[in-house]
């Protein structure tokens, strides 16, 4: 004989409902945690830094040099023109990889063309182009803290 409460629900039914709500709560918490993790960058942006590159070590015309530590690609457009593009994804700050078609972010799949312009994914804007100055000693200085429009090339001679 089952015991009935005044509202007609048995203890077993109440326990089953309680368990179901508990599981739904756990599932919601898990989903919320996963969503929160998706929204947070997995890398730190770090402090903007300047770094030097000897002019004699610039890439060949039409070629690029990637500075992994600084998250920058240095492009030599012509004999006298260079540009630097940040490899920090404009979505949540992961480091993008250079691929044949441009740049690809491994975190959430943002795609950029070879000038850093967004062509797919959640990234909200173009990869920043960076300021370059010629400094004494036959070197250029790349400033990761000064961002510019795309196609900002600088004279090196
Ligand atoms: S950090 Fe999300 S797509 Fe790059």
Q: Which SS3 state, helix, strand or coil, does residue 41 take?
A: coil
Same domain, 120 and 148: yes
Q: What percentage of residues in the chain have a pLDDT greater than 70?
A: 73
- Assess if residue 45 is contained within a domain: no
Distance 115 CA to ligand 1 centre (A): 17
Q: Residue 75: CB within 6 Å of ligand 1?
A: no
Average pLDDT, the chain: 85
- pTM reported for the whole predicted model: 0.73
Same domain, 86 and 18: no
pLDDT tens string 17-71: 667 666 666 566 666 555 555 555 555 556 779 999 999 999 999 999 999 999 9
Q: What is the C-alpha separation between 48 and 83, in angstroms, rounded?
A: 17
Same domain, 121 and 55: yes
Q: Residue 107: CB within 6 Å of ligand 1?
A: yes
Query: Which residue range forms the structural domain that includes residue 140?
Result: 50-155
Q: Residue 94: CB within 6 Å of ligand 1?
A: yes
Residue 68, CB half-sphere, CA atoms under 13 Å: how many? Answer: 1
Same domain, 106 and 150: yes
**pLDDT given at position 1:** 46
Contact 150, 115 (CB under 8 A): yes
Q: Residue 127: CB within 6 Å of ligand 1?
A: no
């Amino acid at each position: 004989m089952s015991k009935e409460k005044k509202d007609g629900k048995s203890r077993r039914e109440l326990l089953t409902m309680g368990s179901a709500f508990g599981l739904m709560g756990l599932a919601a918490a898990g989903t919320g945690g996963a969503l929160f993790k998706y929204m947070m960058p997995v890398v730190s942006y770090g402090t903007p830094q300047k770094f030097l590159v000897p002019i004699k070590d610039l890439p060949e015309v039409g070629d690029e040099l990637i500075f992994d530590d600084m998250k920058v690609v240095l492009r030599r457009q012509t004999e006298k023109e260079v540009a630097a593009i940040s490899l920090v994804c404009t979505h949540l700050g992961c480091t993008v990889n250079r691929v044949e078609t441009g740049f690809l972010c491994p975190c959430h799949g943002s795609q950029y063309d070879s000038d850093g312009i967004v062509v797919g994914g959640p990234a909200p804007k173009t990869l920043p182009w960076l300021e370059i100055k010629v400094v004494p000693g036959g070197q250029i200085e790349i400033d990761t803290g000064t961002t510019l429009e795309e196609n900002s090339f600088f004279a090196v001679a």
